[in-house]
């Protein structure tokens, strides 16, 4: 294998390992009990303190909502630590619209946990709602038993085009394909007094091109190791 190809291959590998989305906003909620701007605190009396963010009045009727008001995005990645998994979630491509929320809601836990219903799935699932003028659709693309009530997890959602992918601790758990909304704000949903959020990272979505480049170079490396006729070199 040529020296130049070897150098190019290692360069591509480094690119693959380091390619991440550019951070647009981060928040660790260390604000001593005051609201952590630029969160909108539109419904639920949200506040930040002791390094976490939560609603003082958690509810799903009406649904709690606090969004990053300074960002109206189409494609993006959003990551947050969820403490005491129970009944909460993430609003995506959303707007408050005078109190009638439009957008996509990823529920984390749910299944009646916040209302005191402790059925077999309560607090253990992930699923999606489409909210239109404040009216939630039935839950779709359910991922069952992927969470344990009371645990702390890191949830990431990548939104690209009409596809929403939700990860728990780096593992893809559920995918929604829906074209109802093309852009909007990211927000948080809280329906349980113990639940809280921390360590928010809003970023652009990593470009997938680096992996493809490395794959092409890898194929080229293999080809270079094969002499004409397919015989191995001694």
Check whether 226 has a pLDDT greater than 90: no
13-27, 39-53, 110-124 — which is least confidently predicted? 13-27
CB 156 within 8 A of CB 163: no
pLDDT given at position 120: 87
State residue 56's pLDDT score.
Answer: 97
- The residue that leads in pLDDT, 15 or 160, is 160
- From residue 37, alpha-carbon distances to 25, 33, 66, 129, 216 in Å are 11, 12, 11, 27, 45
Predicted confidence at residue 21, as pLDDT, reads 84
pLDDT for position 117 = 85
pLDDT tens, position by position, 68-118: 999 999 999 999 999 999 999 999 999 998 899 999 999 999 999 999 988
Cis bond before residue 62 (omega within 30° of 0): yes
CB 166 within 8 A of CB 155: yes
- Using pLDDT thresholds of 50, 70 and 90, give the confidence band for residue 32: low
Residue 207 has a pLDDT of 74
Q: Residue 130: is its pLDDT beyond 80?
A: yes
pTM of the model: 0.81
Would you state the pLDDT for residue 101? 97
* CA-closest candidate to residue 124, choices 139, 110, 137: 110
Per the prediction, the chain carries an average pLDDT of 84
* Chain segment 10-25, per-residue pLDDT in tens: 344 344 433 468 999 9
Residue 208: pLDDT band with limits 50, 70, 90: low
Q: Reduced to 3 states, what is the DSSP secondary structure of residue 12?
A: helix
Q: In this predicted structure, what is the pLDDT of residue 42?
A: 96
């Amino acid at each position: 294998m040529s020296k130049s190809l070897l150098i190019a291959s290692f360069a591509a590998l480094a690119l693959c390992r380091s390619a991440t989305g550019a951070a647009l906003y981060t928040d660790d909620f260390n604000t001593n009990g005051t609201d952590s701007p630029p969160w909108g605190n539109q419904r639920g009396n949200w506040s930040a303190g002791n390094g976490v963010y939560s609603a003082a009045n958690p509810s799903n009727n009406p649904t709690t909502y606090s969004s990053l008001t300074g960002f109206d995005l189409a494609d993006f990645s959003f990551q947050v630590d969820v403490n005491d998994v129970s009944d909460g979630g993430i609003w995506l491509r959303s707007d408050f619209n005078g109190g009638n929320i439009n957008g996509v809601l990823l529920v984390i836990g749910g299944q009646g946990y916040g209302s005191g219903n402790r059925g077999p799935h309560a607090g253990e699932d992930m699923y999606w709602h489409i909210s239109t003028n404040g009216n939630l659709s039935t839950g779709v693309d359910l991922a069952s038993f992927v969470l344990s009530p009371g645990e702390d997890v890191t949830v990431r959602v990548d939104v690209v085009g009409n596809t929403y992918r939700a990860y728990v601790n780096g593992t893809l758990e559920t995918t929604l394909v829906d074209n109802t909304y093309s852009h909007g704000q990211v927000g948080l949903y809280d329906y349980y007094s113990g639940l809280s959020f921390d360590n928010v990272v809003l970023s652009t979505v990593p470009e997938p091109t680096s992996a493809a480049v490395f794959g092409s170079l890898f194929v080229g490396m293999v080809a270079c190791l094969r002499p004409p006729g397919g015989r191995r070199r001694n």
